[in-house]
Structure 1
Amino acid sequence: MATVRQWEFAGRHGAVAAYSWTRPEPRYLAVLVHGYGEHLGRYGHVVRALLGHGAAVCGVDHTGHGESAGERVLIEDFEDVVADVHTLVADARADHPALPVVMIGHSMGGMIAARYAQLHGRDLAALVLSGPVLGRWAALEALLGLEEIPDVPIDPATLSRDPAVGEAYAADPLVWHGPFKPPTVRAFDRCIAAVNEHGSLGGLPTLWVHGEDDRLVPLEGTRGGIEAIRGADLTERVYPGARHEVFNETNAAEVLADVTAFVDRVLGAPAR
């Protein structure tokens, strides 16, 4: 039976909403890092899968997202977001000091998680990157060249082949459905450059999962970023026909099984 806790802490730009799910005798700590415009509440099925695999789970709504404070989707420096995630990890490790930490980041969260690993890799036993915004992101390049950003929402059909995923996304009041903010666009550009310049993750075991038909963060643009951070232990899984949110795809069970198998390979399979 999982115990759920929600609280707030003082982040770099106001109150940050934090969440944790604990279970009896966890064998590792999974840290979820969500994507742009969304919130951790969309990851309930991922949390359940990880709990069932033996993890204690935690995460935050980033500043300007979900239940956290701040102007919606305004991020002026992703180093501040990395610092907020680091505060969460320190808090969680105080509760579970002996547990290895596995960070799982999706999309923008994959970029944040990669930067976190570069700065605080000693905190991590393993890293999972799902459709990460790394390398060359053509959509970002287009936005950087605009004097005024058009109010064009993300097409929910690009998230998953399951129509119910897009419908729930479109109806979710905690999801941002408006345009990008110019400071956030510039912050994305600086963070991608910082990740590229920092280089290899060294020996940190890393799993990269991506949809072959990802139209929001196309596979080939990300591949260059993966090569920039590639360390000695990188595993790649590309899912044919899958779109951007592989954890919400029609083959989500396969994706989550790949994640848990990767964790078992790194940490050792649980005792029977």
Structure 2
Amino acid sequence: MAGITKEPLLFASADRTSQIKGWLWLPEGTPKGVVQLTHGMAEHIERYDEFARFLAGRGFAVCGHDQIGHGASAPLGKHGCLPAAHGAAVLIADVDTLRHLMQTRMGIETPYFLFGHSLGSFITRAYISRHGTGLAGAIICGTGHVPTATSKAGNAVCRLICRLKGEDAVSGLLNSMGVGAYAKAIKDAAGPLDWLSYNRENIRRYEADPLCGFPFSAGGYAVVTALTGEACAPACFARIPHDLPLLFISGDGDPVGSCGEGVRTAFQMARDAGSVDAYCIIYEHMRHEILNEDGRGQVMEDIATWLEERL
């Protein structure tokens, strides 16, 4: 789109070793708001280029980074490797670092929104319970609900495997309990990635992308279960500022959100905890990656409208 510029970002991770790389998409003229994107598991931020350019075309600055263990922020051979003991805290802290870098550049008065997809949705949920004050809103995309007992049990298994095999070890058991379970949830699937989308071209691009689909390590899964344990707890919802606008969006065929059930549970928990501006949209005939389905244009329009109504 004419007038949109794209700039690289670089900052030090809270893990004290990684250099975090990302991108900033700028609209023509002064941004009317900022949207910070947090990507999902086993992918990278440049997959959101179309979405970022769409929002920039509507006047928003958009930023996002490759998380530790992902994309350009991960050393060769270390994709999917995250530190079991403190990885969740690092992921949350890196979101906070980028937020403050952008607010310093754009001005604290510029409305600031968060958008998190999949694993990024759980990071965002944990983040807004800790640092939600001052945000203009948060969009929770492709999320779900994991009971506390399930997260605790899963985390215990992950930590045991970390002790026995090392936190960078790849476990078939953990993979079958994680993304493998999503693949099995799709009946008559043509392949193991059908849970991502109905859109076959999106699946082909994902398969061909060397920065997508890599296995998570035992330490990585320990981080995932720690995040779901925090983000899905009632206490987490209770700490979210009650006046912070929330938008939950998902596909009705997304196994991460139990085909809408888990998303509605998270949405209702937010409402029950006191959120006064929370909305939920479940899109028909869409799976996990609603921003990559054939009907993504409507999803993007709905997001832009929601953002503009909260400026």
Q: TM-score, normalised by structure 2?
A: 0.79
Do the aligned partners of 2:20 and 2:68 also contact (CA within 8 Å) in 1?
yes
Is residue 2:237 matched to residue 1:227?
Answer: no
Partner residue in 2 for 1:11: 13
CA distance in 1, matches of 2:193, 2:269: 30
Do the aligned partners of 2:117 and 2:141 also contact (CA within 8 Å) in 1?
yes
Q: Alpha-carbon deviation of 1:227? A: 3.0
For residues 223 and 74 of structure 1, do their structure 2 counterparts lie closer, same or farther at Cα, with a shift above 3 Å needed?
farther
Partner residue in 1 for 2:222: 186
SS in 1 for 2:279: strand
For residues 189 and 222 of structure 1, do their structure 2 counterparts lie closer, same or farther at Cα, with a shift above 3 Å needed?
farther
- The 5 A counterparts of 1:90-101 are 90-97=100-107, 98-101=109-112
1:72 equivalent among 70, 75, 79? 79
Partner residue in 2 for 1:118: 129
SS in 1 for 2:244: coil
Partner residue in 2 for 1:210: 250
Show CA shifts across 1:143-168 (max 9, x none): 66586435667632211111000000
CA distance in 1, matches of 2:249, 2:71: 25
Partner residue in 2 for 1:32: 37
SS in 2 for 1:16: strand
Counterpart residue identity of residue 30, structure 2: E
Do the aligned partners of 2:152 and 2:229 also contact (CA within 8 Å) in 1?
no
Partner residue in 2 for 1:22: 26
For residues 226 and 137 of structure 1, do their structure 2 counterparts lie closer, same or farther at Cα, with a shift above 3 Å needed?
farther
SS in 2 for 1:229: helix
CA distance in 1, matches of 2:197, 2:149: 20
Do the aligned partners of 2:267 and 2:279 also contact (CA within 8 Å) in 1?
no
Show CA shifts across 1:71-97 (max 9, x none): 212233212111001111111111101
SS in 2 for 1:37: coil
For residues 215 and 199 of structure 1, do their structure 2 counterparts lie closer, same or farther at Cα, with a shift above 3 Å needed?
closer
For residues 239 and 139 of structure 1, do their structure 2 counterparts lie closer, same or farther at Cα, with a shift above 3 Å needed?
farther
CA distance in 2, matches of 1:238, 1:64: 30
- The 5 A counterparts of 1:161-172 are 161-172=198-209
For residues 136 and 45 of structure 1, do their structure 2 counterparts lie closer, same or farther at Cα, with a shift above 3 Å needed?
farther
Is residue 2:191 matched to residue 1:174?
Answer: no
Do the aligned partners of 2:143 and 2:256 also contact (CA within 8 Å) in 1?
no
SS in 1 for 2:210: coil
Unaligned runs of 5+ in 1: 268-272
Partner residue in 2 for 1:270: none
1:247 equivalent among 291, 295, 307? 291
For residues 129 and 137 of structure 1, do their structure 2 counterparts lie closer, same or farther at Cα, with a shift above 3 Å needed?
farther
Partner residue in 1 for 2:92: 82
Query: Percent identity between the aligned chains?
Result: 27
Do the aligned partners of 2:151 and 2:229 also contact (CA within 8 Å) in 1?
no
CA distance in 2, matches of 1:3, 1:44: 12
For residues 243 and 136 of structure 1, do their structure 2 counterparts lie closer, same or farther at Cα, with a shift above 3 Å needed?
farther
Do the aligned partners of 1:72 and 1:176 also contact (CA within 8 Å) in 2?
no
For residues 103 and 183 of structure 1, do their structure 2 counterparts lie closer, same or farther at Cα, with a shift above 3 Å needed?
same
For residues 7 and 261 of structure 1, do their structure 2 counterparts lie closer, same or farther at Cα, with a shift above 3 Å needed?
closer
Show CA shifts across 1:176-210 (max 9, x none): 332x3222222222222222132233111111111
Q: Alpha-carbon deviation of 1:139? A: 9.7
CA distance in 2, matches of 1:47, 1:138: 37
Partner residue in 2 for 1:198: 236
Counterpart residue identity of residue 119, structure 1: R
Do the aligned partners of 1:108 and 1:133 also contact (CA within 8 Å) in 2?
no
Structure label with greater radius of gyration:
2
Q: TM-score, normalised by structure 1?
A: 0.89
Greater per-residue helix proportion: 2
| 194-203 or 256-265: bigger deviation | 194-203
CA distance in 1, matches of 2:153, 2:257: 13
Is residue 2:172 matched to residue 1:149?
Answer: yes
CA distance in 1, matches of 2:11, 2:62: 17
Unaligned runs of 5+ in 2: 162-170, 184-191
